[in-house]
Amino acid sequence: MSGLTAERAAEILAGGSGKRIVVVGDLMLDVYLAGVVSRISPEAPVPVVQVSEERIALGGAANVAANVAALGAHCDLVGYVGSDSAGRQIRSTLAAADGGALTAYLVERDDRPTTTKTRVMARRQQVVRFDREHDHDLADDCTAELCQILRDTIPGAAVLVLEDYNKGVLSPVVICTALELAKSSGVPVAVDPKFRNIFEYQGADIFKPNAFELATALGMPVRAQDDEWLENARKRFGCEHLLVTLGEEGMVLHSADGSTFRVPALAREVFDVSGAGDTVIATVAVAVAAGASVREAAVLANFAAGIEVAKPGVATVRPAEIKAFAAALAAAE
């Protein structure tokens, strides 16, 4: 169990209860249309999906916030939605999340849509996905409104999470404002980056790219077994802790004190990897808010990710599930 006992996992989760975590980033609405394929269209060589089920889920920063709330912490979510049906669905879903443990501070405009990703599924396989979005940076008036919300929410928070999907919320101005406010308020910062502004997060406490994002940013393959390479990468991003998620190879944590800690992937049937990164950053944030070390937070997040990928679609993970998972691992050793 990489040094984290079931008792310690339960202690960390209990310690995170009620802690206030601010999540800032790109909100999305995930729409799933599920059905069966029985024929090919006479109009084009494509399958015809007879839709029998439609469901929605929170995506992006909204999913991170939902996971924070599901783990028992309180989440202040800062982001953008459009004045459209998808924006209204996000607002209503957030309002119903975990008994009021989530407060949404959302900028809204009618000239820019809510980011919406619609997946058409047949026999659990994705047939096609279509997106509705504008991914350029938000307009100046939106940015100014977001920055004012940050000034009101970041001071006094236990942790700040910056969740970047390159959909325009985390512009350089918003990133700089958030980092400066966190530093002046003594709030630790965890970042889940994407490509466009990946070098803008200098000074973050925890920087969590996946292997593809890291390799793309640095222009070279990730050498997860090479401590010197990891140290050079950490310095490039100016972070205290570099936490790289490696898919089926687990995670690697490299810190400014020169230490490297590797977290192996947990053997478990994988149903759907959607949202696993959101679960990881949310669990890390709650664990750090509870006073856990970053190493402990990484192990706990690995437990949570192992649970999440066994669920269909984007899903949240709850403390009881993690505690049962940790206990089962301990019993198997």
- Please name the residue that has the structure tokens 């394929």: 37
DSSP 121-156: EETTEEEEEEEE---SPPPHHHHHHHHHHHHHHSTT
Identify the CA nearest to 78 among candidates 180, 147, 4: 147
Give residue 87's identity as a one-letter amino acid code.
Answer: G
- 84 in catalytic set: no
Coil/strand/helix, residue 17: coil
Q: What is the CA radius of gyration of the chain?
A: 20
Length of the chain: 333
Indicate which residue of 26, 30, 76, 278 is catalytic: 278
Q: Is 109 helix (H, G, I), strand (E, B) or coil?
A: strand
What is the CA 105 to chain-centroid distance, rounded?
Answer: 18
Distances (CA, A) of 329 to 149, 207, 323: 42, 28, 10
Of 257, 256, 261, the closest CA to residue 298 belongs to: 261
Two tokens, residue 64: 């991170």
Q: Is 66:56 a contact under the CB 8 Å cutoff? A: no
* 266 vs 262: CA distance, rounded Å: 12
User: Two tokens at 35?
Assistant: 């059905």
Angstrom CA distances, 311 to 70, 254, 282, stand at 15, 29, 17
Catalytically active residues are 278
